[in-house]
Structure 1
Amino acid sequence: MELVKDIILQITFVVLPIFVYHLLWLSRNNLSSLKPNKLLITCGSIFSSILCLIYPIELIDGAFFTLQPIPLFTSVVYGGSIPGLLTLLTTSIYFSQLYELGWVYFCGSVTVYFILSLSLRSNWYSYTFKKKLNYAAIYGISILIFSLCTIIIVSVLIPHYVDLTNYVIPGITIFTLTLILSLCIYLIEYMRANAVMRMELMKAEKLSIVSELAASVAHEVRNPLTVVRGFVQLIGNSTNSTLSTVYK
């Protein structure tokens, strides 16, 4: 039961900044473009990462797991290199104060995660939703490979230190991380699609108002012109009658 509570808490830490970003930025009434707010993305990613480190998930005695790679990934692909780098540095500094022994491994791992995320940044917005989910799976597999390589190196340097559970746990944790990352990408893309739809509706309403105003102006102008045209025709007919009388 404690494990379920910790997992739900970690998911909350990861998902909450997404909803806050939507509330403060994407749901604005005067939204004119989907240009990302890097300040909000940076603050939300740092907040999420630090909370994930403070309240990790303890799978078994001495084995901890966090969803910290998720806010790092989203900060890079949706915000850019600067929000991702600030998230990386902030969490690394905080981790050095929290867990001194594993600081080098943590910095190395999050640096690898940052580089993996940065490699997808350039064309991320042009990818389809399905392709983004595929890259999220590749990201999770890359983390798994990095974790397994680390375990193998430790097993070589320190014999009898690594047992079978050290190979099984990364597989389970990375599978969970990949699923939650896919959920976060789905939420972000869904909110962005809603924002685009709302922008299109606002543009359509503005065009409708302009067309109605143009029709009203045209109607108001057409009526006087019709009267003027009638008087011009009467004057023309009257002039023609006068001229014909004179010539007779």
Structure 2
Amino acid sequence: MKDILVHLFIMTFPPHIYQIFMLTRYYKREKIRNRFLMGILMGFSGIFSISYPVMYLVPDFYWDLRGVPLLLAFMYGGYYGGFTALGMMLIFHGMMFPSFGVSDAILYAAGFVPVLLRARVFYQYPSRKKIALSLLYAGIGTAALLLWLSYIVSHHGFVWKDLLPQVSLLTVVQLLLPVLLILWFQHMLRHDQMSIEIQKAEKLQHLSDLAASVAHEIRNPLQVTRGYIQISQKEADEKLGRYLNIAIGELDQAEKIISEFLLFAKPELTETGIINIGDSLHQAVTMLEPYASMSGAVIRLSCEDDIFIEGDPSKLKQAFVNLIKNGIESTQTDGLIRIHGHIRKQKAVITITDNGSGMTKEEIQRLGAPFYTTKSRGTGLGLMVTTRLIDAMRGKMRFASEVGKGSEVMIIFPLSAKKRVSISGE
């Protein structure tokens, strides 16, 4: 039991180090070195397990837990982390133990199982699915070891009854240890993600206060300037009048930007109620069809009936207009914007897909950040405002894109509880 507790401590040490130094970058996934770090840490943990096996059951057969760090390396470090840990273990084993037994081959072969279980996308799975996959992996490895142990016992005259207590304990540890480590790792991920969200919210709050203050200070002199220009238009000749019209147009554009600043600073829902998603999408598409036609794009809308949410109709329409307009502007000739609304798992889901230029992973990660834009001419306020409005209506946005193929934004809202009750009662 003492050896098992020591191994448990060693297994939990690498994730703790990873959390301290690199966990925030794990979420950003900006560089491959984070996954290599996971592989190196888990590789050292596996080397310790090889050096100090948990238990020698019979001659030529010892039981260690190298498969557990190898599992975590593949599942949280992807292929880079997994093969890094596997390579470290193989090199160490070859240097320290030149004789390579069948049990060793089974242990290392089991390390490739997570690859077959799509290790590349494992970090995206929910906790329950991760635990299920870890149990499957641990079960396969443990079953292989038990079969080999049975072969040794039957051919060398050992008595199973003498080995049963140790084998039972090791089997339970082999199955449950990955589950415990995954639960702990998920807890660390959630804690770190909460810290990131809190920091982001604090930055947005400071920026909102600054935006509101600056917008109010600038709006007043702009309105005064516009008033004097309008007075001057009455006495201006034709040429000067054209210049003054241009000046008023630029002031109106500045006023629009200031209004977006204020909306970003205080995304208040002034008129909340039950909204039909189909109606809002139809209104947004109707507004943008002339703009799409001028840009050489076509909008195709399909939406299920009776999708109702709670929110501000005008603000929701504005959010849809901003997102559809972004899709139109990302396309070149023969642009196609597909919009689909449907209900999935008691949620209203709206997808807006375009066949535009697409975005890189780094660009997707920065979407919605203050003043970030992928356009050559733009302030980045449109998507910021849209994000704030959808958040205010308890919605979420998810982006997916591929360079050269296009982008997709998915908006998810909770269905209106009042409408669900009335529909179910019909």
- Give a deviation string over 1:21-57, Cα, whole Å, max 9, x none: 00001257xx871567122112101111111222322
What is the alpha-carbon root mean square deviation over aligned residues? 3.0
- 2:28 is aligned to 33
- 1:23 is aligned to 20
- 2:55 is aligned to 58
Matched-pair identity in %: 26
CA distance in 2, matches of 1:229, 1:99: 85
In structure 1, give the amino acid aligned to 2:131.
Answer: L
- 1:242 is aligned to none
- Cα distance 1:18–1:135, how it changes in 2: closer, same or farther (>3 A)? same
- The reply to whether residue 214 of structure 1 matches residue 214 of structure 2 is no
The Cα shift of 1:15 comes to: 0.6
Structure-to-structure mapping, 1:1-248, within 5 angstroms = 3-4=1-2, 6-27=3-24, 33-34=28-29, 37-58=34-55, 64-101=62-99, 103-120=100-117, 121-155=119-153, 158-161=155-158, 163-166=160-163, 169-225=166-222, 227-228=224-225
CA distance in 2, matches of 1:104, 1:73: 21
User: Is the deviation greater in 211-220 or in 123-132?
Assistant: 123-132
CA distance in 1, matches of 2:227, 2:90: 84
The Cα shift of 1:64 comes to: 4.3
CA distance in 1, matches of 2:167, 2:94: 23
Task: Report if the CA contact (8 A) 2:39-2:83 is conserved.
Answer: no
CA distance in 1, matches of 2:225, 2:172: 79
TM-score, structure 2 as length reference: 0.48
- Cα distance 1:193–1:124, how it changes in 2: closer, same or farther (>3 A)? same
In structure 2, give the amino acid aligned to 1:180.
Answer: L
More helix by share: 1
More strand by share: 2
CA distance in 2, matches of 1:151, 1:52: 19
- Cα distance 1:39–1:65, how it changes in 2: closer, same or farther (>3 A)? same
* Higher RCO structure, 1 or 2 (CA under 8 Å, sep 6+): 1
- Give a deviation string over 1:84-118, Cα, whole Å, max 9, x none: 223223213322343444x2324412332212221
Task: Report if the CA contact (8 A) 1:26-1:195 is conserved.
Answer: yes
Aligned to 1:80, what secondary structure does the other structure show?
helix
CA distance in 1, matches of 2:182, 2:94: 29
Aligned to 1:67, what secondary structure does the other structure show?
coil
In structure 1, give the amino acid aligned to 2:16.
Answer: F
User: Is the deviation greater in 197-206 or in 177-186?
Assistant: 197-206
- Cα distance 1:144–1:150, how it changes in 2: closer, same or farther (>3 A)? same
The Cα shift of 1:224 comes to: 2.5
CA distance in 1, matches of 2:130, 2:73: 15
TM-score, structure 1 as length reference: 0.78
The Cα shift of 1:80 comes to: 1.7
**Structure having the higher Rg:** 1
The Cα shift of 1:198 comes to: 2.2
In structure 2, give the amino acid aligned to 1:172.
Answer: L
In structure 2, give the amino acid aligned to 1:108.
Answer: A
CA distance in 2, matches of 1:32, 1:94: 31
Task: Report if the CA contact (8 A) 1:26-1:34 is conserved.
Answer: no
